[in-house]
Amino acid sequence: MTDGAPTDILRVDLSSGTVEREAIPERWLTEYVGGKGLGARYLYDRLEPGTDPLGPDNYLLFTLGPLSGLLPGKPQFAAITRSPLTGTFLDSYSGGTFASSLVGALDGALGVAITGQADEPVALELEDGAATLSAATDLWGRDVVETCDAFEGTVACVGPAGENRVRYATIASDGGDHHAGRGGAGAVMGAKRLKAVVARGSPPEPSAAVAALRDEYERRYREHDVGRWHAANATLETVDFADEVGVLSTRGWQEGSFDGAADIGIDAVRDAAVEREADETSEIPGGFRVETETGASVPRGATPMSLGAGLGIGDFDAVAALGQVCDRLGIDVISAGNAVAWTVRAVEDGVVDAPNSLGSTPDFGDEAAARDLIEAIARREGTVPDALGDGVEAAADRLGGTDLVPTIKSMELPAYDPRGSPTTALAYATSDRGACHRRSLPAETEVFEGDSWDDTDRVRLVIREQTITSVLWSLIADDFAGAVLEDDLGAEWLSTVDATAPTDPAELLRVGERTWTLTRLFNVREGFDATDETLPSVFERPLPGGPSIETDWFDGLRSRYYAARGWSDAGIPTRDLLDRLDLLDVVDEETPIARDSAVCRSD
């Protein structure tokens, strides 16, 4: 391993087959740190506006942070690109052994930036800070488990969904146990004919000071509420929580609770599990591993929520098997679940006929029909599955049924129904990559404290969570162990290693705000504004015996959010904000900026 914090990036051009190593500008390392921030700066700088996400000129970045391999928990990597599903900035994260190996394989680099398109399928092999390309034609068509098994070393790859450019295909690693899931980074990788990235390496050996710091933070995490929750339940307890408080999307967004929740919740998972991902004495035991007909699987909370309750399937074994189908095909479980739910409702309403590639008509509660439809989508077999391969919104635009299943910025929503937590609608709408619960999930607070909230509290919480996650994802902290970094945003860690990143918590908070603003600038340069952040019509209809969300109220809440962010009424960052965040000399002439509520081109 190279001594010191990484400061380089590898550039791979698949069209020419060339690999270069270049230094990252020191200012970028100081102002954006790594991970999400670095990826946002790189993509904004290098990608021409209007670039086809599935064309050769799009970039796909695998990025790390300055503390990768050192922080408590599992190392993670970020997959960063322009989303083929939404057209927005996209950052997706995944952990596990591939991410751990990538730290060592890049040896002093913070990531790899991939552009171009190979003539034939290839694999990118990373080791000792070098990158080489090898033929992978014989792997084209294989699922992610078969692909990972074909290499010595750890592997991130695409399955049939990525090869066929399904716009919510994932980048799968560790035999499908982990996925960079939402937004279709796998489709970008498949369009480049990059079947796999292979990493061979080990994380750096920590210094005595770093090892002591890690021990201390592992202790803090074990005693933290998040640590105790994750050790007991991983993410599977979210099914029980969402059902209990009435925010569990059920049977295609028609209900807020599921009568079969207990059969797919945490108790059912514990009964079915054969082991945890890691030894239960570990500070992060990981998910619950279960056996299915096609091999072992590690379902996350989204699996029983989107493929169970969302499809009316109340049998955990069936839900786990359906999740394993998605894992092996390399397809996002949230978008896949919504695609199936849309199809059931569209058939019921007479919008479309039953997909002609299937042997049966899909219905809620029918795991076999759902599996057949997901497999058909991954291979784009038949008119309806092919349309759904471009996303629910695109299928509805093409076939009808536009108000059946909600989307924001063309991304299908996670299974937390905002009618039971209206602040969640704001988090979904303002997310930089499309509807997403990972940037902010106010439901976990609002259902307990919301009675005492006003709209200022709602806006403040969403902004705080979005900004903090932007910092932690620039460090690329573990999703859960990162909770113990929130007090100082990693400042103590950064002061312990030889890093260019700031070590003042206030400045790190500015890194988060700067990064969030830059992804907004990326999106407005691509034509996004407030009109893309409206309330889906689904949520204007009340849940049975429950609430709805009023459009006028939501529009007012969004306006409050824009004002608090320093954006115009159209959702465009203002000149004063860019000046405060040292972004005025970064913004290009293609990007609209605002003076107060008026919009102008940069000058």
pLDDT digits (tens, 9 = 90+) for 259-288: 999 999 999 888 888 888 776 556 677 788
Q: Are residues 400 and 460 in the same domain?
A: no
CA gap 398, 294 in Å, rounded: 34
Q: Are residues 408 and 453 in the same domain?
A: no
Q: List, edge to edge, every strand of the sheet that includes 109-115.
A: 18-23, 8-13, 109-115, 60-63, 76-82, 89-95
- Confidence at residue 158, expressed as pLDDT on a 0 to 100 scale: 98
User: What does the angle CA 492 – CA 496 – CA 501 come to, to the nearest 5 degrees?
Assistant: 75
Q: Give me the CATH number covering residue 467.
A: 1.10.599.10
CA gap 494, 370 in Å, rounded: 47
Contact 214, 206 (CB under 8 A): yes
Residue where a domain terminates, one of 200, 222, 238:
200
Using pLDDT thresholds of 50, 70 and 90, give the confidence band for residue 171.
Answer: very high
CA distances from 56 to 107, 115, 157, 188, 191 (A): 27, 6, 18, 9, 8
Does residue 596 belong to any structural domain of this protein?
yes
| pLDDT > 70 fraction of the chain, expressed in percent and rounded | 96
Q: Which residue has the tokens 């997909």?
A: 355
Joined together, the tokens standing for residue 433 give: 């990559």
What would the mean pLDDT of 425-450 be, rounded to a whole number?
90
| pLDDT > 90 fraction of the chain, expressed in percent and rounded | 79
Task: Kindly state the DSSP code that residue 164 receives in the 8-state scheme.
Answer: T
Does residue 524 belong to any structural domain of this protein?
yes
Q: What is the mean pLDDT of the chain?
A: 92
Q: Are residues 330 and 430 in the same domain?
A: no
Amino acid at position 526, single letter: E
Residue 506 or residue 480, greater confidence: 506
Using pLDDT thresholds of 50, 70 and 90, give the confidence band for residue 229.
Answer: confident
Radius of gyration of the chain (CA): 22
Digit-coded pLDDT (tens) for 527-568? 999 999 999 999 999 988 888 999 999 999 999 999 999 999
Using pLDDT thresholds of 50, 70 and 90, give the confidence band for residue 577.
Answer: very high
195 pLDDT more than 80: yes
What would the mean pLDDT of 411-423 be, rounded to a whole number?
95
Q: Are residues 333 and 367 in the same domain?
A: yes
CA gap 305, 441 in Å, rounded: 15
Does the CA dihedral 103-105-106-107 come out positive or negative? positive
Contact 371, 340 (CB under 8 A): no
Q: Are residues 217 and 184 in the same domain?
A: no
CA distances from 32 to 91, 165, 336, 491, 520 (A): 14, 31, 33, 14, 15
Does residue 2 belong to any structural domain of this protein?
no
The residue range of the domain holding 576 is 422-601
- Confidence at residue 349, expressed as pLDDT on a 0 to 100 scale: 93
**Shortest CA distance to 488 belongs to which of 466, 512, 509?**
509
Q: Are residues 513 and 473 in the same domain?
A: yes
CA gap 64, 72 in Å, rounded: 15
4 pLDDT more than 60: no
- Confidence at residue 356, expressed as pLDDT on a 0 to 100 scale: 65
Residue 300 or residue 466, greater confidence: 466
Digit-coded pLDDT (tens) for 135-158? 999 999 999 999 999 999 999 999
**Shortest CA distance to 73 belongs to which of 479, 506, 526?**
479
Please state, as a whole number, how many other Cβ atoms lie within 10 Å of the Cβ of residue 170: 37
CB burial class (10 A; 0-12, 13-18, 19+) of residue 397?
middle
End-to-end CA distance of the chain: 44
Digit-coded pLDDT (tens) for 32-60? 999 999 999 999 999 999 999 999 999 99
**Shortest CA distance to 166 belongs to which of 67, 254, 85?**
85
Digit-coded pLDDT (tens) for 311-363? 999 999 999 999 999 999 999 999 999 999 999 999 999 999 877 666 677 89
- Confidence at residue 283, expressed as pLDDT on a 0 to 100 scale: 67
Residue 2 or residue 333, greater confidence: 333
Does residue 543 belong to any structural domain of this protein?
yes
Please state, as a whole number, how many other Cβ atoms lie within 10 Å of the Cβ of residue 401: 20
CA gap 257, 344 in Å, rounded: 19
Joined together, the tokens standing for residue 232 give: 């007991």
What would the mean pLDDT of 434-452 be, rounded to a whole number?
86
For 45, phi then psi, to 5°, come to: -75, -40
Using pLDDT thresholds of 50, 70 and 90, give the confidence band for residue 295.
Answer: confident
In which element (H, E) is residue 172 found?
strand 171-173
Does residue 1 belong to any structural domain of this protein?
no
CB burial class (10 A; 0-12, 13-18, 19+) of residue 602?
middle
406 pLDDT more than 90: yes
Residue where a domain terminates, one of 389, 412, 435:
412
602 pLDDT more than 70: no
CA gap 501, 491 in Å, rounded: 9
6 pLDDT more than 80: no
412 pLDDT more than 90: yes
* Number of domain units in the chain: 3
Contact 526, 48 (CB under 8 A): no
Q: Are residues 195 and 247 in the same domain?
A: no
- Confidence at residue 601, expressed as pLDDT on a 0 to 100 scale: 54
Digit-coded pLDDT (tens) for 458-485? 999 999 999 999 999 999 998 888 899 9
Q: Are residues 195 and 237 in the same domain?
A: no
Does residue 3 belong to any structural domain of this protein?
no
Q: Are residues 120 and 149 in the same domain?
A: yes
Q: Are residues 185 and 301 in the same domain?
A: no
Q: Give me the CATH number covering residue 29.
A: 3.60.9.10
Q: Are residues 449 and 553 in the same domain?
A: yes
Residue where a domain terminates, one of 200, 223, 257:
200
Does residue 185 belong to any structural domain of this protein?
yes
Q: Give me the CATH number covering residue 391.
A: 1.10.569.10
Q: Are residues 294 and 374 in the same domain?
A: yes
Using pLDDT thresholds of 50, 70 and 90, give the confidence band for residue 1.
Answer: very low
Amino acid at position 426, single letter: L
- Confidence at residue 2, expressed as pLDDT on a 0 to 100 scale: 44
- Confidence at residue 279, expressed as pLDDT on a 0 to 100 scale: 61
